[in-house]
Structure 1
Amino acid sequence: MIAPTQRNSQTPVQSQIANTQKSSGLASDFETFLKMLTVQAQNQDPLKPLDASEYASQLAQFSMVEQQVQTNDLLSALSQTLGGANLDKLGKWIGMNVRTPSAFSFDGEPVDLFAKAEPAADKAVMVIRESGGTVVDRITVSTTDTKSVWSGKGSDGQPLAAGNYTATLESYGGDKLLSQQLAAAYNQVVEAQISENQVMLTLVSGHVVSATTVTGVRAGA
């Protein structure tokens, strides 16, 4: 039963390899260009020296290639630095218990559930479902409290088996259903990764959620 209380592209390695190959190619072109320019200057006809404007143009190209090589080296170093920072950021999630609106893993211990009824509601019911979607309990809860504790027992008062469950808060105005809201619960994070510029967390329940949905964090056991 519930006791009311008060108030989910390229890998970094592939990208690094591609950047390295591109930088190496530019560096090779840069060295080749420098050698060709030196040989050209050494072997020009004294009676027909290289035109000044053409020589200036080649020097400008030489400068552009040099700057491109330096820029690529800088970007490569920056990418490695940021990659290390991202890994450090991801590592801090592992083992933490995060509160998100998702399925939760039940191991026999009471579970904190977080959801608030609609302001206009005069009745609120927490509906507990097992992983297959079957309703195992319906409990009337407070319309003002945001936190409830589920004991892990079914409607018959018997303890339920360990596994994954969901809790949905239904808000009623009289006999009319106003809304249904997936309650939030704490789950342990077992994996963290970056996908499409978002930190995605894999929970012990097996569900994957975005870090932006996390509304609370607890230290892992």
Structure 2
Amino acid sequence: MEISSVATSASFVPTAETSEAVISSDFETFLKMLTVQMENQDPLNPTDSTEYAQQLATFSGVEQAVLTNELLSSLMVQMNTSGMAQMADWVGNEARVAAPAYFDGTPITIAPNPAAVSDTVELVVYDEAGEEVQRTALPLSAEPVEWAGTSSDGTPFPDGTYTFNVESFSNGEVILNETADVYARVNEVRSENGESVLILEGNVAVLASDVSALRKG
């Protein structure tokens, strides 16, 4: 998922004055065109007055549609800004989400969710290039575990972003393979396409709606 930073303060929200000025200008132009149409009609075959009434009604409908659309856009921006303000307290805490996590030498908490019928569960770790760098056995439990970020001989893995998959086996066959939930620190809350986006450690971006838990950092 590619998320780009959006500065909400730079977003343009149409004001009532702006909308009214534009519509007023358009209405004056419409009246001028209607006047010219009336002046240049065939006097022997004048336009039916009901046609003018229909044109006025059509313009009125368009005017109302424009005002309604602008009102809805303004409300959406206000609601999104309000949502981000409510999530301001998330910054500095740790969010639980199925996403890559940044490793800087500090152990990462992983929340596996193995299949209930599995008889063996393994944690598979991938680096930023997608290469498998470690595979270890996990208990048959959904209890969180700590990934120390060290190889079998105790050598620490390099700093970077790692992805954790939980593979559930039954009779030697993989029956479930999914990205594990991790706990990662929230550094920032952004707005993108009307949705609140969290920027985690290592510049990992996730949708706020994908977060399943939150805890103190």
User: What TM-score comes out, normalization by structure 1 length?
Assistant: 0.66
Contact 1:110 1:152 in 2 (8 A): yes
2:66 to 63, 69, 72: 72
TM superposition outliers: structure 1 runs of 4+ over 6 Å: 20-23, 35-41
1:172 to 169, 172, 175: 169
In structure 2, how many angstroms separate the alpha carbons of the residues matched to 1:57 and 1:191?
54
Contact 1:30 1:66 in 2 (8 A): no
Contact 2:128 2:162 in 1 (8 A): yes
CA change 1:63–1:152 in 2 (3 A) is: same
State the one-letter code of the partner of 2:80. N
Contact 2:19 2:67 in 1 (8 A): no
Percent identity of the aligned residues?
24
Contact 1:136 1:155 in 2 (8 A): no
Query: How many matched pairs?
Result: 199
Q: Which runs of 5+ in 1 are unaligned?
A: 1-7
Contact 2:80 2:195 in 1 (8 A): no
User: What TM-score comes out, normalization by structure 2 length?
Assistant: 0.67
Report the alpha carbon displacement of residue 180 of structure 1 after superposing the two structures with TM: 2.4
Contact 1:190 1:204 in 2 (8 A): no
- Pair 1:103-2:97 in alignment: no
Post-superposition Cα deviations, 1:126-155, rounded to whole Å, max 9, x if no partner, equal: 223333344443332211234212233321
Post-superposition Cα deviations, 1:92-136, rounded to whole Å, max 9, x if no partner, equal: 367353222121012322221011222222221222333334444
In structure 2, the partner of 1:194 is 192
- Worse overlay, 101-110 or 175-184: 175-184
In structure 2, how many angstroms separate the alpha carbons of the residues matched to 1:175 and 1:71?
62
1:118 to 102, 107, 115: 115
Q: Which runs of 5+ in 2 are unaligned?
A: none
Contact 1:190 1:203 in 2 (8 A): yes
Post-superposition Cα deviations, 1:150-204, rounded to whole Å, max 9, x if no partner, equal: 2333211244343222222222234333332221112325353334x65554433
Report the alpha carbon displacement of residue 55 of structure 1 after superposing the two structures with TM: 4.2
What SS does the aligned partner of 2:202 have? coil
The higher radius of gyration belongs to 1
Report the alpha carbon displacement of residue 68 of structure 1 after superposing the two structures with TM: 3.3
1:85 to 76, 79, 88: 79
CA change 1:151–1:33 in 2 (3 A) is: closer
What SS does the aligned partner of 2:129 have? coil
